[in-house]
Amino acid sequence: MVQAQEELWTLQRCIDRAEQKNISLNISSLEVESADIQRKRAAHSRYPNLNGTASFGYNFGRTIDPTSNEFIATSLGFNSISLNAGMTLFAANRINNSIRQAKVNKEAALATYEQARQDLALQVANLYLNALLAKENLAIAQAQYDNTLNQLKRNRILAREGALNKATLLDFEAEEASQAQNLITAENTLQLALLQLKQALLIPADEAFDIIKPDFQINPSAYEIQASKYVYQSALSTQYSIKAAELNLESARFEKRIAQAAFYPSLTLGGNLNSNYSTQGRTLLGTDLVTQQFPASFNGETGIVSFASPQPIFEDANWATQIDENLGYGFGLQLNVPIYTNYVNAASYQLAKISEVRAEKQLNLQEQSVRIDVERAVTDLKAASKSYRASERSFEASDVAYQNALKQFELGTISSFDLFNVQQRQQTAQQQLLLAKYDYLFRQKIVDFYLGQPIKL
């Protein structure tokens, strides 16, 4: 069975994948969509509203015919329809402030999303650098093991020829076993680092995955001149958490103005259109003369008297005819003057003032938090720079000492125990240099983060 070839992932590809799959970031994007819908709703609040209603029912016994307003003793079915429209003409600028607040809330939600996206990129970069560190550590462990194995093979030949005692050969075999253990530990560390990165990217654990080792140079002196004050000033304009806090404060101020508008009168314009239908509804077609005869007597003579009287002619009216004939409409103005509202308006205003103060404190707290983080980041970067330079010198010195000890061992002037001690110091110094290198890289990325620079290698 042919195994699937591992894909090599760059840091940018990992960041793009995390932004696409991260659940928390997706939830934050939903908050942006929700804020945009609320903005649209606020914008439409300045337009007139229009509502239609319709009802149908059946009455039994004595009731009022809705089409004629007459009492009838016959059961009837009825249908009423209406259209109602309304528009606010004056509300002490409440609608405009609501629209402005909704726009600010959307910008705040977007800033919160961008901050979460930046934080996620920094988190992925940290995991990526940990995996790179593990890869380089594995390469060093492999090289150290190969070197020890070559020494062991060479010494086995010397031992067979009698040029090396058995005790020294056993020392090299023990060293080879120790280096093999270090190699396995380095392999396990790399697999764990890759697993943690895959989990952050929501990639299945059994899926083939590997990362690219970019070609980058370490230049500690490039960041030594960065002052925390300069980085902090840059962070104030680049950190979306600061922008979100500022926008939340602006939103709280609009909320106070909206609450204050409730103390002022409001004026609305309304209109309606309505009509009715009844199963007893009739239409007057005209009149007809009806002659009626009555017996009468006059001066002792009896006869017949005829009278002609007009009688209305009706026919049952259909639904469309009744709706047309019963159509009515009107409009009006309504002035609402708040006099006493059971402390509702006053409480809303007081709460809005508290929200404004809270938002100011949140902004101050966020600025303070960023300042502390920036000062720590700059201090850590300078410390990492010094540590990296010291580790360079330590490794160079230990490597020279190891090469010298190796020559002395070959000449027989030092024992294998002394050689292994010098070799151990050289390997420890090499690992410390590798740790210092990636620690410096990560500290540099944090400072870049506060400077508003993209996270890249």
Determine which helix (DSSP H) or strand (DSSP E) holds 414, and give its type and residue range: none
Q: What's the whole-model pTM score?
A: 0.82
What is residue 222's DSSP assignment? G
Mean pLDDT of 187-216: 92
Two tokens, residue 182: 């270090």
Q: How confident is the model at residue 225 (pLDDT cuts 50, 70, 90)?
A: low
Phi, psi of 85 (to 5 degrees): -130, 150
Higher pLDDT: 51 or 216? It is: 51
- pLDDT at residue 6, as a whole number: 58
Q: According to the per-residue pLDDT averaged within each range, which of 292-306, 350-364, 375-389, 411-425 is highest?
A: 350-364
CA dihedral 124, 130, 132, 136 (to 10 degrees): 180
What percentage of the chain reaches a pLDDT higher than 90?
A: 61
Longest dimension (CA), the chain: 178
pLDDT tens string 322-356: 888 888 899 999 999 999 999 999 999 999 999 99
Q: Is the pLDDT of residue 2 over 50?
A: no
Q: Is the pLDDT of residue 403 over 80?
A: yes
Amino acid occupying residue 405: A
Exposed, middle or buried, 311 (CB in 10 Å: 0-12/13-18/19+)?
exposed
Distance CA 99, CA 117 (A): 27
Two tokens, residue 152: 């062991």
Place of tokens 């409440």: 94
What are the C-alpha distances in Å from 261 to residues 96, 265, 349, 448? Answer: 11, 8, 9, 46
Q: How confident is the model at residue 223 (pLDDT cuts 50, 70, 90)?
A: low
What are the C-alpha distances in Å from 182 to residues 148, 188, 396, 428? Answer: 12, 10, 22, 12
- pLDDT at residue 286, as a whole number: 67
- pLDDT at residue 284, as a whole number: 64
- Domains of the chain and any CATH numbers: 8-46+91-264+338-450 (1.20.1600.10)
What are the C-alpha distances in Å from 216 to residues 110, 439, 447? Answer: 33, 14, 17
Exposed, middle or buried, 362 (CB in 10 Å: 0-12/13-18/19+)?
middle
pLDDT tens string 50-94: 999 998 888 777 777 776 777 776 777 878 899 999 999 999 999
Could you tell me where the DSSP H helices lie in 85-93? Answer: none
Distance CA 83, CA 168 (A): 104
Determine which helix (DSSP H) or strand (DSSP E) holds 108, and give its type and residue range: helix 94-160
Mean per-residue pLDDT of the chain: 88
Provide the sign of the torsion angle of the four alpha carbons 95, 99, 105, 106, taken in this order: positive
Q: How confident is the model at residue 314 (pLDDT cuts 50, 70, 90)?
A: low
Distance CA 48, CA 44 (A): 9
Q: How confident is the model at residue 121 (pLDDT cuts 50, 70, 90)?
A: very high
Amino acid occupying residue 47: Y
Two tokens, residue 398: 């230990």
Mean pLDDT of 18-43: 95
CB count in 10 Å sphere of residue 155: 19
